[in-house]
Amino acid sequence: MSKSHRTSVCIIGAGPAGLLLSQLLANAGVDSIVIDRRDRSYIEGRIRAGVLERGTVDALTEAGVGDRMHQEGLVHEGFELAFDGERHRIDIAAHTGASVLVYGQTEVTKDLFDKRTAEGARFFFNAEDVTPEGMKTDQPTVSFTQNGTAMTVTCDYIAGCDGFHGVSRRAIPRDVLNTFERVYPFGWLGLLTERPPVSDELIYANHARGFALCSMRSQTRSRYYLQCEAGDDVANWSDTRFWEELARRIGEASAADLQTGPSIEKSIAPLRSFVAEPMRYGNLFLAGDAAHIVPPTGAKGLNLAVADVRLLSRALIERYRTGTTEHIGSYSQIVLARVWKVERFSWQLSNLMHQFPEHSAFEKRMQRAEFDYLVQSEAASKTIAENYVGLPLE
């Protein structure tokens, strides 16, 4: 048995990129269908990003999903960089006049799902063998099976919002697609605990034993990360071992305020920088992790996905409202110009804040010298601040 469906934009992926795109299109009266290989509870259960740039806060507010974010999110006007226990605050409010909002990606996803569902959005979960086809035609299709039933969605445009391991990027022919990648020789071990955070603001720490990050989800729920071996196994990390290592890396003064507790989530994420060009092929458009990955050091992954979606929704809405395709034509070029600048910042901060096995004594001194320069130079701290709060959309 097979079923056919028709929509304007078929969105592959119900993560933050796909959900926000569907909402922005719906707000402009453009119909979409959202297909995901997982279901809502699985997607909401993934613990990921924690910091929202001002552009992301604006986009979610404009989309009509900002109420809980503004009530529960924590406004942060600065964060700290630390080297071997010495801490330097980056005053992002003084440098940029802006702030960031600490509000977990999990909550953003829940808010988007709630509104999309309340508005009767068409979702297909647990989709298998999702296959985009006909991208070079004006009637592309996405076929898949769901509970054994073959489905085909015919549309005007396909939005590939299916993350790094999705199928959309792979639907672009090899002789068209160019990819750029840097895989880091370490991963991040993340831990979530119901304990007040060690500090009011985030602390990014570089220590001889490795990087550590002290973050949070609320005043009672903390999120911590430790740099670990690339192939490390979370089973090697008891809570006790995690807390002891974190205390070493953040230094005695900070560790004195550390409230340890049982982990409610613990996982290891690999780190890579990755970009795929172009982000458009015929009537297929890529957005979010489907097209690029940044190491989480700069808190950019989710925010970059939102920026892509703001530009893609603008292009698609323009086409349906006016018939012109100016921004559809320039989408890939405009969005990639910003992607590369954000890749640069995430790569730069990762190089500054982590211990690299291949680093010589000289390169370790270069890291320390860059930190010391940041501490003394207003200009250097300002550049960090303006990237952290988010670059202009274009």
How many residues in the chain?
Answer: 394
Select the binding partner of residue 223 from ligand PHB, ligand FAS, none (C-beta < 5 to 8 A, by kind). Answer: ligand PHB
Select the binding partner of residue 63 from ligand PHB, ligand FAS, none (C-beta < 5 to 8 A, by kind). Answer: none
Q: Are 273 and 200 in contact (CB under 8 A)?
A: no
The DSSP annotation for 140-175 comes to -EEEEEETTEEEEEE-SEEEE---TTSSTGGGS-TT
Q: Is 51 in the site for ligand PHB (CB under 6 A)?
A: yes
d(CA 145, CA 129): 6
Q: Is 78 in the site for ligand PHB (CB under 6 A)?
A: no
193, containing H or E segment: strand 178-193
Cite the active site residues: 76, 204, 296, 300, 388
Select the binding partner of residue 111 from ligand PHB, ligand FAS, none (C-beta < 5 to 8 A, by kind). Answer: none
Select the binding partner of residue 305 from ligand FAS, ligand PHB, none (C-beta < 5 to 8 A, by kind). Answer: ligand FAS
Q: Which of 26, 34, 49, 108 binds ligand FAS (CB under 6 A)?
A: 49
Q: Is 187 in the site for ligand PHB (CB under 6 A)?
A: no
Report 138-167 residues binding ligand FAS (CB under 6 A): 161-163, 165-167
- Between strands 203-207 and 178-193, the pairing is unpaired
Beta bridge partners of 280: 285
- Residue 236: how many other CB atoms lie within 10 Å: 11
Q: Is 12 in the site for ligand FAS (CB under 6 A)?
A: yes
d(CA 223, CA 255): 15
| Cα 49 to the center of its chain, rounded Å | 6
For ligand PHB, which stretch binds (CB under 6 A), given 47-55, 64-72, 89-97, 330-338?
Answer: 47-55
CB of 49 to ligand PHB, least distance (A): 6
Q: Is 368 in the site for ligand FAS (CB under 6 A)?
A: no
CB of 35 to ligand FAS, least distance (A): 5
CA distances 256 to 27, 150, 198, 250, 251, Å, are 49, 59, 9, 10, 9
d(CA 373, CA 378): 9
CB of 95 to ligand PHB, least distance (A): 18
Select the binding partner of residue 266 from ligand FAS, ligand PHB, none (C-beta < 5 to 8 A, by kind). Answer: none
Closer residue to ligand FAS in complex, CB, 150/253: 150
Q: Is 289 in the site for ligand FAS (CB under 6 A)?
A: yes
For ligand PHB, which stretch binds (CB under 6 A), given 174-182, 252-260, 292-300, 379-387?
Answer: 292-300
Amino acid letter, residue 344: R
Amino acid letter, residue 58: D
Report 52-71 residues binding ligand FAS (CB under 6 A): none
Q: Is 84 helix (H, G, I), strand (E, B) or coil?
A: coil
For ligand FAS, which stretch binds (CB under 6 A), given 56-64, 297-305, 318-326, 362-370?
Answer: 297-305
Identify whether 278 is preceded by a cis peptide bond (ω within 30 of 0).
Answer: yes
d(CA 299, CA 51): 6
Q: Which of 96, 105, 332, 367 binds ligand FAS (CB under 6 A)?
A: 105
Q: Is 299 in the site for ligand FAS (CB under 6 A)?
A: yes
Q: Is 223 in the site for ligand PHB (CB under 6 A)?
A: yes
For the chain, the first-to-last Cα distance in angstroms comes to 47
Q: Is 226 in the site for ligand FAS (CB under 6 A)?
A: no
d(CA 175, CA 94): 47
User: Which residue's beta carbon is nearest to the bound ligand PHB?
Assistant: 50
**Nearest residue to 67 via CA among 32, 103, 30:** 103
Rg of the chain taking only CA atoms, in angstroms = 21
Backbone phi, psi, residue 44, to 5°? -70, -25
Q: Is 16 in the site for ligand PHB (CB under 6 A)?
A: no
CB of 98 to ligand FAS, least distance (A): 17
Task: Name the residues that contact ligand PHB, by CB under 6 A.
Answer: 49-51, 202, 215, 223, 296-297, 299
